[in-house]
Structures are given as C-alpha cells and as structure tokens.
Structure 1
Amino acid sequence: MISDLTFCELREKEVVNITDGKKLGRILDMALTCSGNVLGIIVPGEKKFFKNISGDESIFVPWKNIVKIGEDAILIELGERSGGNVVCPAPRDC
C-alpha cells in the first residue's frame, strides 16, 4: 500500500488514461490553490509533427479524475479525445 508521496516520487510514475489505455507520460507539474489544496496534475500533450509550427499542449487532469496511484503508475480517467488533447478548464490565478 502506498503511503504519503513527495512530488518527486509522483513525477517518476507513468500516467495512464484508463479510458483509452494511452500512456500520457510523466507529471510535468501540479496545480495548487492558494491555500495549498491540489487542483490537479499537468501531463504532456500529444506531440505534434511540426512542433515549432503547431506546438504541443499540456493536459490538465483534475484531481478528481485520478483513479489510482500505484507503485509504478498513476491511473486517470479522461473522456474520449477527438483529434487532440482533452480541453480542461485552466486553474485560475490567486
């Protein structure tokens, strides 16, 4: 059973969407409220062929969408993606 984790330990785990089985990569960042509550995690978006032209977007995963944090992976549940990354509301400034 997993006990408390540090951010460094979390970002070493692979993030997998259980909806489509895709590996999204490792956590890039974490969004917090001004009072320190976790809003969610930020993972890499799909890589674009012409990165300099179209760029790649990160995916914000709300904390409520994290299903399980295991020894090797973090399982999340995001809806089906249609031609791109899931659009989630960005965290607001404090």
Structure 2
Amino acid sequence: MRLSELSGKEIVDVKKAERLGILGQTDLEINESNGQIQALLIPSVKWFGFKRQGGEVRVPWKHIKTIGTDMIIIDIQEE
C-alpha cells in the first residue's frame, strides 16, 4: 500500500468507538534503517492511557488492526 492511499483515512479506536484524527493530519514515525512505519503520531489534547509527547499521542503500528477504504481501526491494550 502506498502512503498516498493512506492519506485522508479516519483513525478510530475500536474499544472507545472514538475518532482520533485523520491520517494526513498526523505524523509518521519511520525507522530510518529499513523504512518501515513504526507509529502514528496523532495531535491530541484529550487522550488518556498513552504517552503524550508535546500534545500528541503515539500509536504503535502493531496496534493497527484494519485498514479499510475510509478508516484505520486501532485496538490499543489498556496498561
């Protein structure tokens, strides 16, 4: 899948049934040695249970369950 195909998809947390943002308004954390996406960095002001770094939430790539035509479904285990 190309990055351009991901752009514009809504990011939804399946457990909270909450819209977190739109890919394209988020940043990607990319491993420089192999070019793989490590995490989505979603700008946020009101998210709980995750590390905040400068007003953003880091969602590791392994927590993405499904990439559909219109949205990306994530499932993050509570700590």
TM range (shorter): 0.7 to 0.9
Whole-angstrom CA distance in 1 between matches of 2:7 and 2:59 = 14
Shift in alpha-carbon separation, 1:59–1:11, aligned structure 2, 3 A:
farther
* CA radius of gyration, larger in: 1
Paired position in structure 2 for 1:90: none
The count of aligned residue pairs is 69
Structure 1 vs Structure 2 CA RMSD: 2.0
Deviation at 1:44, TM superposition (A): 2.3
Q: Which residue of 1 aligns with 2:5?
A: 9
Kindly indicate whether the alpha-carbon contact (under 8 Å) linking 1:19 and 1:79 is maintained by their aligned counterparts in 2: no
TM (norm. structure 1) is: 0.63
Runs (4 or more) in structure 1 with deviation over 6 Å come to none
- Secondary structure class of the residue paired with 1:8: helix
Contact 1:40 1:61 (C-alpha < 8 Å) held by counterparts? yes
Percent of aligned pairs sharing the same letter: 33
Structure with the larger strand share: 2
Q: Structure 1: give runs of 5+ residues left out of the alignment.
A: 48-55, 82-94
Give me the whole-angstrom Cα distance separating, in 2, the residues matched to 1:59 and 1:67: 17
Deviations 1:31-56 (A, max 9, x none): 11112121111122135xxxxxxxx7
- How much does 1:12 deviate? 0.4
How far apart are the structure 1 equivalents of 2:63 and 2:78? Answer: 13
Q: Which amino acid letter does the alignment assign opposite residue 72 of structure 1?
A: D
How many Å apart are 1:59 and its aligned residue? 0.9
The one-letter code of the counterpart of 2:13 is N
Task: State the distance in 2 between where 1:68 and 1:58 align.
Answer: 22
